[in-house]
Structure 1
Amino acid sequence: MGVPIRTSRGAPRGWQGELPAWAAVYPTWPMRQITDRDEFTRRYLARLDGYGVEHAAADLAAIADETNADTLILCCFEVSLSERIWCHRSVLAAWLSDRLGIDVPELGAHR
């Protein structure tokens, strides 16, 4: 399927094998406390925009080169401190799609 890339601070216990991390896209600790989805999305998008599409593209290319991967799988392993049922990974996927034209489908999604 591809190489899993950790986009969250946490990694699952008992993970076997490599798990490259993309730390630049981790939500900040204060962001994890936000329970309002619109507020979280606004702040996280501001973080990503501050990071920049050029840096994102370069990081993804470097991770792909380092792992010899044709496909990268963006994974989030965070356990929310709030009761929210949504994840930053979907915001990241939409940002990559909008800014870089990269299709980031959900695994198992039917097209």
Structure 2
Amino acid sequence: MTDIKTASWFTKMPEGHVKVGISRGIPRTVAAGYRVYRTLAPGPWFHSVTPEEYDRLYKVDVLDRLDPRVVATQLIDLARGGIPVMVCYERPMVQGDWCHRAMAALWLAEALDRPIPELGFEVLAQADHPLMPPELKRPTKAGEVPDLARFVGRSATIDGEAHQVIAVDPNDPRRAIVKAGNRSFPAGIDTLTRHFKPV
């Protein structure tokens, strides 16, 4: 099956990737060539509730009414041979930003048994999607904080790009900060174990 990814409307798409809007609106500055799939757009409550309530409403009002396999097929069909990229407004790694596309990606990933990553963050485990609200990120186990310090300083080349674990996240000891090029992002134990050999 064709890959499916997520991104911001404002992210530059690599060749062969097609923006498929799942937002309630479309930015005026977006160039032609995108597709729209309003089936995954949030309800009118999208700017007025907490992340936990948003997640509940998004599941009840949107996702629970859909078949994820049908949705995946429709997204692939819309991309007409390209890789469909579900897009919305929020940019990754902006402090405090989160987006329903992370929830849609998790829902699809669990149903299809394969990752639906954010473009440019393919190295991350699904649970570490950069736009999942912190309140909804799943802990490893109740009360457990993994020893991530053993990964600090480790490097790996992933998809041809150098990545390095630079620190344990001071705001969330269950995540480490990984640097790749000019960007850095949090990663959990699953991602670290898969890509970086601990000291």
1:44 to 58, 79, 85: 58
Amino acid at match of 2:28: R
Partner residue of 1:81? none
1:68 and 2:81 aligned: yes
2:89 to 50, 56, 77: 77
Structure 1-normalised TM-score? 0.78
Amino acid at match of 1:105: P
1:59 and 2:74 aligned: yes
Whether the 8 Å contact between 1:45 and 1:95 is mirrored in structure 2 is no
CA RMSD of aligned residues (A): 1.9
Which protein is richer in helix relative to its size? 1
Larger Rg computed on CA atoms? 2
CA–CA distance in structure 2, aligned partners of residues 33 and 4 of structure 1: 26
Structure 2-normalised TM-score? 0.46
Whether the 8 Å contact between 1:31 and 1:43 is mirrored in structure 2 is no
Amino acid at match of 1:30: W
Tell me the CA shift for residue 59 of structure 1: 1.3
Which protein is richer in strand relative to its size? 2
Where does structure 1 lack aligned partners over 5 or more consecutive residues?
79-83
Partner residue of 1:89? 101
Whether the 8 Å contact between 2:69 and 2:111 is mirrored in structure 1 is no
Superimposed CA distance per residue, residues 66-110 of structure 1 (whole angstroms, 9 cap, x where no aligned partner): x331x11111027xxxxx631101111111101122421112226
Whether the 8 Å contact between 2:19 and 2:34 is mirrored in structure 1 is yes
CA–CA distance in structure 1, aligned partners of residues 119 and 68 of structure 2: 23
Change (3 A) 1:109 1:57: closer
Percent identical across equivalent pairs? Answer: 28
Q: Is the partner of 1:90 in helix, strand or coil?
A: helix
Q: When the two structures are aligned, how many residues end up with a matched partner?
A: 102
